[in-house]
């Protein structure tokens, strides 16, 4: 077995040194009759060639995003990742290291976490950011718990145009923790009504309001007024961003008064991966830092006075506080942070702004092409790189038909709101820098042929 260095002679010598006759003597604590007699009922060892053949066959049954015109978004986006990013994250010292428990030999990890935290704080317009969460949705659920700790209340109001899966994750954790959630109904047609409903729902028990911008249908929201209203009622505003590239073009949630910002960072450096691993960005006002979940990297000095970095404020965390911890989380998304921060370093301020502008322009171009197509209506007054169209017919069937023509057209809203009849004719369509004029022409042609 190529991964196992011990030889049978080694094993014999080692058993002798330990002073037992067989390896099963070392398993003596396993209750009688519970040690497996034979092998598990699974195939036996395979060489690289065979494994590649098996995995290749599974891969061949999927249509990769790069195979044709691709417009699927709604929380995960097809962006280009520079070759250097994937090369660097595969360096042994990054890939095969662990949580920096021994900071003297983990300065590489710690320094990039510190740089990552700085980038995230700047992007979101917040004072502090942590070293990442599993993903945006789990980050959002943790943000709600954090707001409950800060306000000592336990009722969260979720905007109707929050991604339904994010809503489900928050509701699941809240229900299990005996907290209250008020989830408002989605409104694809009148995005302004979404925020009005949130404002109307705020009361003296409200701990936080959770609002996504750009929202799940792609609409942009000015959060200033709702932030003021929430804070006047003693509640926090949690802003959710599922498309982090939008922050290159849009006023940051921090500048609009958000108390906590949670974002999915997948768009920068990470890739699609069928939903994971991703990287959750989590930023807040610094006065709440001791209530934050997750890891934090901080600056210090070593015994010779040289600058260095360590994980810090860990008295919030489970390995110290156990049942009194701010969260049960015991990891971050280290390698995905690294992918994010390398890609962001390559982009820089100028590159990110350019990337965001290209995304927006491409989406505008598709919206313009759809303007006047019979049986299609673009619902959004504002959007970044994603908008929602109403089509004459069953959206899921139309998306399926378009897939047969080689165009992956977007997410039918019925996939996210399966029980809601009102959404049956909507498709959420994303455009990024990878889409060309030809892709958009193919989209329009395939759509017209499928209605």
Partner 1 sequence: MMNRQGRPTAAGDTSAQAHPTFTGNYGLEIEEPLLFEIGRAETTGVDLPAPKKVKSRLGKLARDGAIGLVGLSEPETLRHYVRLSQKNFGIDTGLFSLGSCTMKHNPRLNEKMARLPGLGDIHPLQPQSTVQGALELIDTLAHYLKELTGMAAVAMSPKAGAHGELCGMMAIKAALEASGQGHRKIVLVPESAHGTNPATAALIGFEVKPVPAQADGTVHVADVKAALTSDVAAIMLTNPNTCGIFEKEIVEIAAAIHKAGAYFYCDGANFNAIVGKARPGDLGVDAMHINLHKTFSTPHGGGGPGAGPVVLSERLAAFVPYPFVHADKAYVLVEEATKIVKGEKPFGRMTAFHGQMGMFVRALAYMLSHGSDGMKQASEDAVLNANYIRASLADLMSLPFGDQPCMHEALFDDTWLKDTGVTTLDFAKAMIDEGYHPMTMYFPLVVHGAMLIEPTESESKASLDLFIATLRDLAMSATKGEVDRFKGAPYHAPRRRLDETRAARNPVLRWTPPAPYAEAAE
Between 320 and 422, name the residue whose CB sits nearer to partner 1.
320
Least distance from partner 1 to the Cβ atom of residue 448, Å: 19
Q: Which of 10, 203 has the CB closer to partner 1?
A: 10
Contact 281, 139 (CB under 8 A): yes
- Of 42-50, 184-192, 203-211, 225-233: span binding partner 1 (CB under 8 A): 42-50
Q: Kindly state the tokens that stand for 279.
A: 């990287």
Q: Applying CB under 8 A, which of residues 21, 152, 322, 372 lies at the interface with partner 1?
A: 322
Please provide residue 443's backbone torsions phi and psi, each rounded to the nearest 5 degrees.
-60, -50
How do strand 206-212 and strand 236-241 relate by DSSP bridges?
parallel
Q: Which of residues 2-31 bind partner 1 (CB under 8 A)?
A: 2-7, 10-11, 13-15, 17-20, 23, 25-31
Checking phi first, is residue 269 left (phi over 0); if not, alpha (psi -120 to 50) or beta? Answer: left
Distance CA 238, CA 244 (A): 15
Binding to partner 1 (CB under 8 A) within 241-300 occurs at 247-252, 264, 271-279, 286, 289, 295-300
| Residues 87-116 interacting with partner 1 (rule: CB under 8 A) | 87-109, 111-112, 114-115
Among 217, 282, 340, 384, binds partner 1 (CB under 8 A): 384
Among 57, 152, 372, 438, binds partner 1 (CB under 8 A): 57
Cβ partners under 8 Å of residue 257, min gap 6:
223, 224, 227, 228, 231, 237
179-208 binders of partner 1 (CB under 8 A): none
Residue 234: partners with Cβ closer than 8 Å, 6 or more residues away: 151, 153, 204, 206
Residue 231 found at the interface with partner 1 (CB under 8 A)? no
Binding residue for partner 1 (CB under 8 A) from 150, 211, 268, 342? 342
User: Which residues, 6+ apart, have CB-to-CB distance to 333 below 8 Å?
Assistant: 132, 133, 134, 135, 277, 278, 279, 280
Given candidates 154, 187, 207, 362, which one binds partner 1 under the rule CB under 8 A? 362
* Non-local CB neighbours of 94 within 8 Å, separated by 6+ positions: 88, 108, 109, 335, 338
Site stretch for partner 1 (CB under 8 A), options 50-58, 152-160, 202-210, 230-238: 50-58
Q: Which stretch binds partner 1 (CB under 8 A): 153-161, 227-235, 374-382, 442-450?
A: 374-382
């Amino acid at each position: 077995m190529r991964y196992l260095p011990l030889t049978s002679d080694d094993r014999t010598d080692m058993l002798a040194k330990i002073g037992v006759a067989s390896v099963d003597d070392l398993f003596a604590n396993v209750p009688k009759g519970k040690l497996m007699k034979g092998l598990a009922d699974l195939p036996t060892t395979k060489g690289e060639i065979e494994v590649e053949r098996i995995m290749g066959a599974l891969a061949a049954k999927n249509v990769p995003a790069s195979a044709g015109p691709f417009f699927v978004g709604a929380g995960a986006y097809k962006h280009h990742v520079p070759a250097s990013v994937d090369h660097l994250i595969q360096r042994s010292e990054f890939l095969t290291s662990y949580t920096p428990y021994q900071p003297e030999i983990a300065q590489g990890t710690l320094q990039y976490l510190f740089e990552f935290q700085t980038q995230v704080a700047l992007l979101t317009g917040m004072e502090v950011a942590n070293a990442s969460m599993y993903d945006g949705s789990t980050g959002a659920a943790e943000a709600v718990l954090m707001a409950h700790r800060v306000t000592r209340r336990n009722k969260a109001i979720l905007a109707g145009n929050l991604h339904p899966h994010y809503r489900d994750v928050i509701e699941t954790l809240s229900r299990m923790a005996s907290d209250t959630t008020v989830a408002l109904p989605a409104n694809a047609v009148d995005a302004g009504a979404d925020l009005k409903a949130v404002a109307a729902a705020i009361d003296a028990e409200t701990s936080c309001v959770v609002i996504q911008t750009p929202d799940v249908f792609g609409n942009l929201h000015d959060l200033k007024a709702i932030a003021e209203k929430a804070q006047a009622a003693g509640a926090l505003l949690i802003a959710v961003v599922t498309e982090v590239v939008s922050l290159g073009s849009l006023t940051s949630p921090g500048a609009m008064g958000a108390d906590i910002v949670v974002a999915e960072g997948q768009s920068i450096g990470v890739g699609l991966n069928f939903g994971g691993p991703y990287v959750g960005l989590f930023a807040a006002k610094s006065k709440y830092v001791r209530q934050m979940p997750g890891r934090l990297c901080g600056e210090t000095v070593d015994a010779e006075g040289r600058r260095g970095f360590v994980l810090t404020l860990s008295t919030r965390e489970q390995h110290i506080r156990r049942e009194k911890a701010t969260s049960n989380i015991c990891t971050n998304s280290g390698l995905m942070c690294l992918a994010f921060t390398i890609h962001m370093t390559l982009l820089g301020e100028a590159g990110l702004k350019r990337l965001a502008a290209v995304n927006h322009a491409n989406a505008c171009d598709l919206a313009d092409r759809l303007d006047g197509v019979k049986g299609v209506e673009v619902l959004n007054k504002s959007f970044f790189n994603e908008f929602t169209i109403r089509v004459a017919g069953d959206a899921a069937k139309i998306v399926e038909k378009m897939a047969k023509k080689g165009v992956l057209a977007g997410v039918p809203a019925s996939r996210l709101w399966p029980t809601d009849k009102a959404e049956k004719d909507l498709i959420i369509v994303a455009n990024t820098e990878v889409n060309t004029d030809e892709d958009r022409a193919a989209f329009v042609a395939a759509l017209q042929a499928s209605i």
